[in-house]
Amino acid sequence: MKEYFHKEIRRNTVRAPLMDQIEAYVKVIIKGNIPQVSYSTYVDFYKSGSRKEFEESYFERRKQLTALGLYLQWNNSKDAIDYFQELLWTISNEFSWCLAAHLQYGEDTFGDNPAKVIDLFSAETAQTLSEIIIIHKNKIDLLLCNHIKKQIKDRVINPFINKNWEWESATHNWSAVCGGCIGITALLMEKEEKQKLILNKVERALECYISGFGDDGVTLEGIGYWSYGFGYYIYYKALKNEIYLQDNKEESSKTEAIANFPQSIQISEKVFLPFSDVPPNITLPSGLLSYLQNKFKIKVPLIEKISPFDFDHCYRWGHVSRNLWWTSGEILNKELENCSIYFQDAKWMVHRKDKLFFAIKGGSNHEPHNHNDVGSFVAAIDGEIILTDLGAGAYTKGYFGSERYTYNHTRSYWHSVPFINNCEQEEGAIESTIVKQDINSNYIEFNLELSQVYPAAKIKNFYRKARFENNKTMLTIEDSIFGKATTKVNEGFISYIKPELIKNGEIIWKGTKGNIIIKYDCNIFDYYIEKEKVTDHYNQVVIIYRLGLITNKENKELITEFKFYYEIR
């Protein structure tokens, strides 16, 4: 187990940037006060659904916990140890380790036993504390260590044993994160029969998580949830292998496909295909990538240096600690290879050639962290997305409730798909039909039928054909829409860049790395531009644009092409 985490941290050229960032932060915080998670922040969520106020304080505490827990692996500052112990006392005695958004509420009441509710973050807190009290057992007072152990057992271990939690059978990140964290905690704190009981439940939860993937390894929730769910799956498996000297040779080809997923959808170092709830400018954990490269010999995504301290706005101990412990110089500055791939289970087509990128998705509107986006596509030049998917919005109560598809990030109107007879796509399990998919050295082609995701539009068929031709650096989107009656079509193309008219039938998006020009039939379509302000995942207000091409006549049939020309600067 010493090789897993409990070792002296030595400075080297790979670790130095992260160590410097942690050290600078610690020197500031130990002169101040521990952040307060106040009653008013719970009230803010209860009354308005806003998560921001609570989570700013909550995650600032976790940031301090992670920084100090690592800093004290190479420094014995008395001031830091004293502050650390006060912080440990404060966190171990929190009203609940859960997020306010994950607690149950009655009418002017909290639900039963908030301190014993297991969500993602209560499980993470237990895992973090269980590792810290082992790593720093000679620096933390025994009285405090024993108190923390009792809190972990009372808040997480025993509630897990005594109840079957809904997330245990989830096929998304919850089963992996909660299960993985509790598994690590049990490996470190429990023995024999009790540990076996817990690990049996954990393993079943992790089997459910893996069952949520197709054999193609795609994380439908988005690349951030690949880091999150698969990361904690791996962290648990790695510790179990270390303790019980197992090698996990039985790991399936599916697990290897999951491990290789990020490189296939990377656009630039911090930009990945943003289908589903993907935040902007995401950095993958370098420690996890290093482990996977050593374990599975994965194709490593482009990453120039160890992940910075603030790469994860939640400052998860699991990620940051493994970045410090595991990151290898062997994974840095790898070339981003050309890639053309059809993900058969997810029904995504991805094409990356030199500086050009294109991706389109089929599937259904009933996916984890779903967006109504079947048939939507993304186009990028030299790492910059020109035609985009908005990815993850700000997380609020409404975003995960009945209001979800009123948000621009999730509704189909703000994806690059048409608005037909004043109807958007609807959420539902019916999948699009893949008519054709073809990859060869000259072009890629992807054809799908989409009428089922527009149940209110009263159309017979909707075929979308996408063809990217390498030698012409051109993408053609052909839409064929057959109505049951006269049909009005409003095609939409989404960008953070304002489109500009060149002339009738030609519009340009001017990026910093290149341009994309769309050519369309101006005898069929009138153009207009919509502009909206939205709040992104990090609560920043950004401007988005929708180029609308609306038919100027109503017909029962519409067969038309849109040609997109990539111009590299």
- For the segment 505-529, the average pLDDT, to the nearest whole number, is 98
Residue 331 lies in a domain: no
- The chain-wide mean pLDDT, for the chain, equals 96
Length of the chain: 569
What gap in Å lies between CA 173 and CA 213, rounded to an integer?
11
**Whole-angstrom Cα distance, residue 563 to residue 75?**
60
Q: Does 205 lie in the same domain as 166?
A: yes
Last residue of a domain, one of 274, 304, 326: 326
Residue 407, pLDDT score? 98
The answer on 415 and 436 residing in a single domain is yes
Integer angstrom CA distances of residue 142 from 90, 118, 342: 16, 26, 55
At 249 the pLDDT is 55
- 54 and 22 part of one domain: yes
Residue 153 lies in a domain: yes
Asked whether residue 9 is assigned to any structural domain, the reply reads no
Count of structural domains within the chain: 2
**74 and 143 housed in the same domain:** yes
The residue among 293, 326, 359 that closes a domain is 326
Residue 413 inside a domain? The answer is: yes
Same domain membership, residue 403 and residue 290: no
256 with 154, same domain: the answer is yes
Can you say whether residue 276 is alpha, beta or left, with left for phi > 0 and alpha for psi between -120 and 50 degrees? Answer: left
Out of 326, 354, 384, pick the residue that ends a domain.
326
Average pLDDT, integer, range 375-379: 99
User: What domain range includes position 275?
Assistant: 15-326
The secondary element (H helix, E strand) that includes residue 352 is strand 348-353
Q: How many CB atoms lie within 10 A of CB 405?
A: 18
Residue with the bigger pLDDT between 235 and 253: it is: 235
Instruction: Write the DSSP symbol of residue 8.
Output: P
Q: Which residues of 317-335 are buried (b: 16+ CB within 10 A; e: fewer)?
A: bbbbbbbbbbbbeebbebe
Closest CA to 380 of 532, 512, 219: 512
pLDDT at 302: 96
Cα 369 from Cα 465, distance rounded (Å) = 26
Query: What is the pLDDT at residue 245?
Result: 80
Shared domain for 253 and 350, answered yes or no, is: no
Specify the DSSP element, H or E, that contains 69. Answer: helix 52-71
Asked if residue 551 has pLDDT above 70, the reply is: yes
pLDDT at residue 76 is higher than 80: yes
Same-domain check for residues 178 and 306: yes
Q: Is the pLDDT of residue 416 over 90?
A: yes
Same domain, 164 and 303: yes
What pLDDT does 36 receive? 97
Quick one: tokens of 356?
């050009």
> Is the per-residue pLDDT at 419 higher than 90?
yes
**Pairwise CA distance, residues 358 & 335, whole Å:** 19
Mark whether 322 and 366 lie in a shared domain. no
Q: Which two tokens stand for residue 142?
A: 């025994």
Q: Is residue 418 part of a domain?
A: yes
Mean local confidence (pLDDT), 541-547: 99
Q: Rounded to two decimals, what is the model's pTM? A: 0.96
Q: With cut-offs at 50, 70 and 90, classify the pLDDT of residue 51.
A: very high
Average pLDDT (75-83) is 97
**Does any domain span residue 332?**
no
Q: What is the pLDDT of residue 6?
A: 56
Same domain for 320 and 380 = no
Residues 237 and 251: their CA atoms lie apart, in Å, by: 10
**CATH number of the domain to which 180 belongs:** 1.50.10.100
Residue 480, SS3 per DSSP: strand
Confidence class for position 212, pLDDT limits 50, 70, 90: very high
pLDDT at 530 over 80: yes
CATH of the domain at 355: 2.70.98.70
pLDDT of residue 256: 96
Q: What is the pLDDT of residues 263-298, one digit of tens each?
A: 999 999 999 999 999 998 999 999 999 999 999 999
My answer on whether 290 and 387 are in the same domain is no
Token look-up 């830091």 returns 80
Rounded to the nearest 5 percent, the helix, strand and coil shares of the chain are 40, 25, 35
